[in-house]
């Protein structure tokens, strides 16, 4: 047996972010978030961390380096005028898309960088951490603390991408490597019947308080990206929300009913994608023989972070495009919720769920929620909403290069809500707006149905 | 001189739709709309009407045939069970995108059909008209009348596309043919200074009444596409709207200030388009030598339906993508209006303006509007709004194949409002939602600025 | 019935080149060749003559104009310094690929020129003809006569392309228009059994005498393109050549034996083309239902210049790529002849066969040739040879822009020999080297087998 | 300093193939060739050996594995029926293009295989070597010995590709890593003036004796690939060959004279490549600032296996496409030699030169050769010839899957002769025919001029 073995699940990976709430001291929080990134690449080879499997994905090594660069560029360079970058060339190599900062290595070529090695990059991170520790040892103005928090939130986003990009890479390999040792399969149990939670609608407050005043009161209101605000009111009509996401078993029914063969179920652009890409099932689904999953293929299997596994019929379906989520809702005679509906329903729930540092690293089935509230709003799968990612009324991007963070992507993407099994604990909040293009499928993205309450 | 001469502007083309208001008797209205289509191709050669200059455009001949097919497929086939299509193969050739109807000739291959000829297609239209006249001679149920009205509205949309597609075709020809004889240039006068019209916002009614009740009362409420409803309320914050669209002169300032060279002015997808397509000015702009217009190129000229002409600095700028409109607004420190803001501001204005049958066939400058209302809301140029084209709350597409009319395009497109100099009179209304992809430029699309009223 | 009817075959199209042998007086020959071009477009609409169905093809109108331009550019401009082009812009529009002449309209955009019209182009040709008649009325130096002959040979090449491009265009139209009225089908008779003609090989003279001396003696040696010389010797091993081309019936056996499914029969680049293009039969073959022809589809039909017709099993197979011809030869346990073998076998045969002006306009079956010579070496189908199109030893292109005629294409193309049913009479000779890329299929190209004589 | 250091040149890499002549005992020869492959990847990281920089290139790891697979598939599987592959899945992963063997991992996806790791692949090679040692310990039939020799020749081809693919990979990295420590620069000296060596031509024997008889006498005649035969006679005209390849200094003159700007110097397909790819100099040339080299950029630098280095003006120019070589010859008023001319001139020279195991790993300048023979015919740079890669008369590929070795590539490629500074010693012979597509540039390919002897 020649192959490198996957790492067993261990304590290093489980719940390392326990101390990372916004209440933690900045230095403690910095260490915890940064350590989690390093934990994620344990067991990966230099090659695993280097290869880029598609333009949308980045190498694990690049995620590690880019998040270090972010602290160099936006925190250290500003707060420590004498600070010298570990390697001046990294400013070019590890800038992602900040036009204000200068030219950068083209995204589709990130996987051609076999040097610096993974070990070099870990040394780079250590050097940045040392400089940051010095900075964090002293008193810091609020603006710097806010940039550090932005850097940590940014790193948590890349932790999720690191996992989903790695899954995509391993899925391209006919050997189907496992990132971690497969856990015991969950006990077989059907998903609870689909219940519906009603909401009266009306005039509702939406979004985070990201105004000028809020900035000084960040401790109270917590962190939010600029695109989550300004807080504002919207008018909602009465609606009902499904008590759980759509399950793998339900998705199999959609397939069996010709869901991927009937153009009238799809948006025009979605049907083009179905035909051009030959979609017949969610990304990563396959049959017993490892071939693309088709209508008559029986129990679905799928590539996961544990290699190819049988899918739990009761668990939320994942790795869907917006087009698929939208088509399913049409087939079911329902619709996707708007992001406002989702937020109103989630606002008062605790931000708990199956996040990455639980160690499950895949969507899990859950029992019927009690108390008349929807279940699994956080974790498991990101939920596609019907809402294009656009500016809230009065939106103004932050000044300087960090203003390129969200605003320039407000076109052709749709909002997803709630986080997934690859999102680190402490990263989510009710107002959190994730966004992807409607054809993208490599995230842990699923859906929850909604309907008008007549 | 070997070239075919352009047709002089004549009475046939000017204001032929005077009798086409929704109040006209159906048969009279049918004749007027259909006759205008025929008038639009007068002076075109068989070849002019056959060639397709890009995938987004269709041959003039195809527009003529497809709009006839629409009446065959959706009106005659339903109302006259014994009706036989003029040519059974046309059902395949001239279906545009109706999946429910069956397979169809691929869109990018429309320009390969040198047969049937333009004359054949005009004969096809005459045969359809004869059948329609018989139908219109008798009493008709409301549902049929509504389908006929849909067919006429549909034909008016294609009249506009026929003009914009033809302009695109002629612009590809180094000989730059003129569709019509050039009019005298307008008197040179600067555009009026940019004035702003305020609006208090608040709870506002939006959209057309397209509900089940409305259908029986179509005579009263007038026609609307399904996507214009249901009528519903939205919350608006106080805003101000520019009293006129952005002018060519103002656009030249944007160019001179490096507008097409500064990535931070652009959405990320927009900047990709600028680089990939080499945009340096609106579509059709050129310099004295017929080369692509650039910053230092002096007074802009542009291909028009009258051949290449000097642009009137005071006239609204046209042939912009959403990306360009959005970048300009950011450069100007303003923003695009939402479609709701536009509709509220336009709702009580008369639907009058520089429409196609005025014969101008290009955006015109206009004096400062009086009375504290915005000018040129209708006609001249479609105005890009900040609103993605998505469903209004409670939206349900119409049943049957006509349900594919709008709903399946509710993805990745942006709403434009107000009509243009290529839109036929009688086609517009305050709730009218046009939509195009953000990179598309061949329509008469411009912009009007908005800002928050603090 | 709305469609334009195809033209009946008539005297205008049959054998109009009877007086065009190289012995004819230049003026008489000029008129005959030019008139044949005009005859070829009789019955075509303006649209038929304008549309370009693929990058490799050109509109009929373009062929007519480009061949006129050739006389303007290479004959009139040189011989008549005061000559003024009919339209200065045509120099840009109708230059094909002569870099020395200047920039030109991009080839893939030839079909966007709806103006000048077909009628305009015919007027352009008439104006050039008038100038040429004046020139031909006087005594002319040998160099000018040779350029005129080059222009006529050039025009004959475009006559063939006009026909094959038109067939390609009409084949894209689901209505499958006929260019000419279908003739009676040939009497059904099997092809004669495949006989073989041996040749001893040895030291053989190849090519035309295109040396400096030859130029003054053009009347004696006849015209040849520069690439047909210099005449030189090659060593050939003994070989045998099939007495006729491969027939449609034989090709059907290849298909039935999995010819298009077995990668080991194909060149690597050929197999890539089979897979990328989905080839399952020669271009234009289809089944009864008009779908792509497949192994079990029964008697093949094909698009022809007479619309879709049943194929004569005994006639030579046509519309093959080099890749297909090569794969067939491998399947048959034979090989393609080299161009030298072909030329040696054809050298002493009369240049007679089924050429375009016979009016057949499709490959025809022929009886077993007598006299121990191969049959159908000229006409019917071009025969792919195993020879890449490269320079003969000592080759030097002609001076000036006409030197771009052949030499710059000596890369990645293969030589075809013998002419086809679309080649005008008087254009062929034993040394004639046609060339196309190995993936191209829209010419009347077939194959003849060869084998080593052990 | 974070970067991994390049390996110093050492004894392991220099001349390890001294004992690999065809006279060596098979086991000794096997060990030497296989060991050299391993020596080539010393100092490479797992990532360096995994990434694929373009479709034409393969990862170093893949070269190592594929050459092991070759022995498993073609030697061990045949000679040892009980042999079990080290990993059955490798048969799929490491088959290159043998259709007869079965489906295989798509070439453009070779770089996605981060597993098996480089260490895994080296273990795979060790397991194959152990099995081969057992086989080689016993007496072997001639057919097996010939397959082993084929496997070793195959491995030597991949040794060269491993080096050129690695150079391409490192050239994509803005850090420009060095594969080996840079040697001292050579003493500056101009190239000797260009001398010419004449040859009388006539009837010449070409190629290797690859006939059926030859197979039993392989020990005497030495190894040759099937495409090098059959031996046959050709007729050559008198010619002259340059005494050395074209130098970097001479190439700079071509650039300075507008060589990359003048379309009439180029084949039509070559000029398309120049424009599409933006070629302004040979691959890897750059200016002082690391930008693409242009006419006025001064002394050229280039990426090499030692990182970016100043180019020796006297050394042969390398990394040219056929198109560039052909254009240069036209510019110089000369031509490329045919492969026959090259072979006749090289046939009686000792096969000595600057090969890979000299350790130079780049083309070197050489003094004027003495004795009226051309210099540097072997080693330094492959020399593009004017000859398309086609079958010699009577060519028959070997039976079975190894028959796919050369024959199926006989289309659209050109022959190169003589080996390069990346070719291992012992691999070349006068009849050796290498071949690449005319647009490919990443090999150490240059040119030598020829001309007709009048």
**Edge-to-edge strand list for the sheet holding A414-417:** A434-436, A414-417, A382-388, A445-446
Closest-CA residue of chain A to B335: A394
Instruction: Verify C-D touch: 3 or more CB pairs within 8 A.
Output: yes
Q: Which residues in chain A have their CB less than 8 angstroms from residue D116's CB?
A: 2-3, 175
- Closest-CA residue of chain C to B90: C175
Q: How much is the average pLDDT of C295-308? A: 95
Is the model's pLDDT at A43 over the cut of 60?
A: yes
Q: How far is D85 from chain A (nearest CA, A)?
A: 12
CB atoms within 10 A of CB B141: 9
Do residue C99 and residue D269 have CB atoms under 8 angstroms apart? Answer: no
Predicted pLDDT at D7: 63
Percentage of chain C with pLDDT > 90? 82
Measure D97 CA to nearest chain C CA, in Å. Answer: 9
> What are the residues of chain C with a beta carbon less than 8 Å away from any beta carbon of chain D?
97, 99-100, 203, 232-235, 237, 263-264, 266-271, 322-323, 326, 386-388, 390-391, 393-394, 404, 408-412, 438, 452
Cα–Cα distance measured from residue C255 to residue C43, given in angstroms and rounded to the nearest whole number: 37
Which CATH class name applies to D196-452? alpha beta
Q: Is residue A16's pLDDT more than 70?
A: no
Give the residue, B15 or D380, on which the prediction is more confident. D380
pLDDT band at B22 (very low <50, low <70, confident <90, very high): low
| Residue with more model confidence, B24 or A392 | A392
Query: C–A contact (≥3 CB pairs within 8 Å)?
Result: no
**D21 — pLDDT class (breaks 50, 70, 90):** low
Closest CB to C388: pick one of D97, D390, D393: D390
Could B264 and A235 be called an inter-chain contact, meaning their C-beta atoms sit closer than 8 Å? no
Least confident of A14-23, A313-322, B53-62: A14-23
**pLDDT tens per residue across span D273-282:** 999 999 999 9
Peptide bond into C125 cis (omega under 30): no
Name the residue in chain D with its Cα closest to that of A48.
Answer: D114
Nearest Cβ partner for B124 among C2, C105, C114? C2
What pLDDT is stored for residue D372 in this prediction? 92
B164 Cα to chain C: minimum distance (Å): 15
DSSP, res B227:
G
CB contacts of B49 in chain C (<8 Å) are 47
Mutate to test the interface with D, among A3, A5, A59, A115 (most CBs of D within 10 A): A115
Rounded to a whole number of angstroms, the distance from the CA of C153 to the nearest CA of chain D is: 21
Confidence of residue D188 (pLDDT cuts 50, 70, 90): confident
pLDDT for residue D376 is more than 70:
yes
Higher pLDDT, B383 or C100: B383
Q: State the pairing for strand pair B285-286/B301-304.
A: antiparallel
Give pLDDT tens digits for D301-313: 999 999 999 999 9
Residues C261-286, mean pLDDT to the nearest whole number? 97
Please answer yes or no on whether A266 and B408 come within 8 Å at the CB atom.
yes
The mean-pLDDT minimum among A145-159, C13-27, C170-184, D274-288 falls in C13-27
Neighbours of chain D (3+ CB pairs under 8 A): A, C
CA D202/CA D204 separation, integer angstroms: 6
- Return the beta strands (E) in B101-237 as ranges: 196-199, 202-206, 232-236
pLDDT of C61 over the 50 cut: yes
> Residues in chain D whose beta carbon is closer than 8 A to a beta carbon of chain C?
97, 99-100, 203, 232-235, 237, 263-264, 266-271, 322-323, 326, 386-388, 390-391, 393-394, 404, 408-412, 438, 452
Residue C192 in tokens: 């004669």
Show me where the domains of chain A are located.
15-171, 196-452
Q: Do C438 and D99 touch (CB under 8 A)?
A: no
C contact chains, 3+ CB pairs < 8 A: B, D
Per-residue pLDDT at C11: 45
Which chains have 3 or more CB–CB distances shorter than 8 Å to chain A? B, D
pLDDT class for C8, splitting at 50, 70, 90? low
Residue D301: both structure tokens together: 């630098």
pLDDT of A451 higher than 60? yes
Q: What is the mean pLDDT of residues A152-167?
A: 98
Of C62, C37, C25, nearest to C149 by C-alpha is C25
The answer to which of B252-256, C221-225, C285-289, C373-377 has the lowest mean pLDDT is C221-225
Position B69 confidence tier, pLDDT thresholds 50, 70, 90 = very high
pLDDT at position D8: 58
Residues of C in contact with D234 (CB under 8 A): 235
CA distance A63 to chain D (A): 16
The alpha carbon of residue C81 is apart from the nearest alpha carbon of chain D, in Å, by 25
According to DSSP, residue D221 is labeled: H
Mean pLDDT of C443-453: 98
Q: Collapsing DSSP states into helix, strand and coil, what is residue B383? A: strand
Q: Which of D437, D420, D434 shows the shortest CA–CA distance to D160? A: D420
pLDDT over 50 (residue B218): no
- Report the pLDDT averaged over residues C136-162: 96
Residue B339 scores a pLDDT above 80: yes
Give ipTM to 2 decimals. Answer: 0.94
Mean pLDDT of chain D: 92
DSSP 8-state code for residue C148: H
Question: Which long-range CB contacts under 8 A does A95-103 form with residues at least 24 apart?
Answer: A95/A66, A95/A69, A96/A66, A97/A404, A97/B268, A98/A73, A98/A401, A98/A404, A99/A404, A99/B263, A99/B264, A99/B271, A100/A400, A100/A401, A100/A403, A100/A404, A100/B264, A101/A73, A101/A401
User: For chain B, which chains pass the contact test of at least 3 CB pairs under 8 Å?
Assistant: A, C
* Cα–Cα separations (whole angstroms), residue D379 to C152, D309, D336: 51, 20, 18
Query: Which residues make beta-bridge pairs with D445?
Result: D382
Give the D-side interface with A, CB within 8 Å: 2-4, 45-51, 53, 86-87, 89, 92-93, 105, 109, 111-118, 120, 123-124, 169-170, 172-175, 177
Contacts of D2 in chain A (CB under 8 A): 86-87, 116, 120, 123-124
Give the CA distances from residue D103 to residues A307, D100, D229, in Å, rounded to whole numbers and listed in that order: 23, 9, 30
Q: Choose the closest CB to D410 out of C267, C404, C410.
A: C267
Q: What is the mean pLDDT of residues A324-333?
A: 98
Residues of A in contact with B97 (CB under 8 A): 268
Q: Give me the pLDDT at residue A22, please.
A: 58
Q: What pLDDT score was predicted for residue A2?
A: 39
Averaged pLDDT, A348-358: 95
Which chain D residues touch A172 with a CB distance below 8 Å? 109, 112
| Per-residue pLDDT band at B402 (split at 50, 70, 90) | confident
For residue range C198-211, list pLDDT tens digits in order: 999 999 999 998 86
Q: Give me the pLDDT at residue A302, please.
A: 98
Place C305 in a pLDDT band, splitting at 50, 70 and 90. very high
Least confident of A179-183, C59-63, C432-436, D158-162: A179-183
Instruction: Among B322, B394, B404, select the one facing A452 at the smallest CB separation.
Output: B394
pLDDT confidence bin for C20, thresholds 50/70/90: low
Collapsing DSSP to helix, strand or coil, B417 comes out as strand
CA distances D6 to A234, B13, D60, D167, Å, are 62, 77, 16, 13
Confidence of residue A140 (pLDDT cuts 50, 70, 90): very high
Burial class (CB in 10 A: 0-12, 13-18, 19+), B8: exposed
Residue C170 pLDDT exceeds 60: yes
Q: State the smallest CA–CA distance between residue D347 and chain A in angstroms.
A: 42
User: Residue B387: its chain A contacts at CB < 8 A?
Assistant: 390
CB contacts, 8 Å: D323 with chain C: 411
Phi, psi dihedrals of residue A417, rounded to the nearest 5°:
-130, 150
Residue C105: predicted pLDDT: 93
> What local confidence, expressed as pLDDT, does residue A273 receive?
98
The band of D211, judged by pLDDT with boundaries at 50, 70 and 90, is low
Q: How confident is the model at residue D42 (pLDDT cuts 50, 70, 90)?
A: very high
State pLDDT tens for residues A100-131: 888 999 999 999 999 999 999 999 999 999 99
Span A191-209, pLDDT tens digits: 899 999 999 999 999 999 8
Asked whether the beta carbons of residue B232 and residue A237 sit closer than 8 angstroms, the reply is yes
Say yes or no for a CB contact (<8 Å) between D99 and C404.
Answer: no
Nearest-by-Cβ selection for A411 from B393, B409, B438: B438
Model-level pTM?
0.95
How many residues are there in chain B? 454
d(CA B35, CA A291) in angstroms, rounded, equals 57
B117-158 tens-digit pLDDT: 999 999 999 999 999 999 999 999 999 999 999 999 999 999
CA terminus-to-terminus distance, chain D? 62
What is the distance in angstroms between the Cα of B119 and the nearest Cα belonging to chain A? 33
List residues in chain C touching B: CB distance below 8 A.
Answer: 2-4, 45-51, 53, 86-87, 89, 92-93, 105, 109, 111-118, 120, 123-124, 169-170, 172-175, 177
């Amino acid at each position: 047996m020649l192959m490198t073995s996957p790492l067993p699940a261990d304590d290093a990976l489980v719940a390392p972010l326990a101390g990372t709430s916004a209440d933690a001291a900045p230095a403690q929080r910095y260490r915890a978030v940064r350590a989690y990134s390093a934990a994620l690449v344990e067991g990966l080879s230099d090659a695993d961390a280097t290869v880029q499997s598609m333009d949308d994905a980045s190498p694990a090594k690049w995620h590690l380096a880019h998040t270090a660069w972010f602290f160099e560029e936006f925190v250290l360079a500003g707060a420590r005028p004498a600070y010298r970058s570990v390697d001046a060339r990294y400013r070019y190599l590890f800038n992602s898309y900040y036009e204000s900062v200068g030219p950068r290595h083209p995204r589709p070529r990130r996987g051609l960088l076999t040097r610096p090695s993974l070990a070099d990059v870990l040394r780079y991170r250590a050097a940045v951490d040392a400089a940051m520790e010095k900075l964090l040892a002293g008193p810091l103005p609020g603006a710097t603390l806010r940039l550090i928090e932005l850097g940590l939130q940014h790193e948590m986003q890349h932790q999720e991408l690191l996992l989903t990009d790695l899954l995509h890479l391993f899925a391209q390999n006919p050997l189907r490597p496992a990132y971690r040792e497969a856990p015991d399969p969950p006990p077989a149990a059907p998903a609870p019947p689909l219940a519906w939670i009603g909401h009266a609608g009306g005039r509702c407050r939406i979004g985070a308080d990201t105004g000028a005043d809020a900035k000084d009161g960040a401790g109270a209101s917590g962190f939010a990206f600029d695109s989550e605000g300004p807080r504002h009111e919207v008018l909602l009509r009465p609606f009902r929300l499904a008590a759980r996401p759509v399950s793998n078993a339900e998705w199999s029914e959609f397939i069996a009913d010709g869901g991927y063969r009937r153009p009238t179920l799809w948006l025009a652009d979605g049907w083009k994608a179905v035909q051009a890409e030959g979609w017949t099932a969610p990304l990563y689904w396959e049959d017993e023989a490892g071939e693309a999953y088709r209508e008559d293929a029986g129990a679905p299997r799928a590539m996961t972070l544990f290699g190819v596994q049988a899918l739990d019929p009761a668990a939320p379906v994942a790795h869907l495009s917006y087009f698929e989520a939208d088509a399913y809702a049409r087939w079911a005679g329902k619709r996707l919720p708007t992001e406002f509906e989702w937020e109103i329903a989630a606002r008062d729930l605790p931000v708990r769920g199956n996040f990455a540092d639980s160690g499950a690293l895949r969507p899990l089935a859950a029992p019927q929620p009690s108390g008349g509230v929807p279940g699994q709003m956080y974790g498991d799968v990101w939920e596609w909403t019907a809402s294009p990612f656009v500016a809230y009324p009065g939106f103004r991007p932050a000044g300087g290069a960090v203003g390129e963070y969200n605003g320039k992507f407000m076109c052709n993407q749709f909002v997803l809500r709630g986080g997934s099994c690859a999102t680190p604990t402490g990263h989510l909040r009710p107002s959190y707006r994730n966004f992807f293009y409607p054809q993208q499928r490599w995230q842990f993205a699923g859906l929850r149905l909604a309907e008008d309450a007549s």
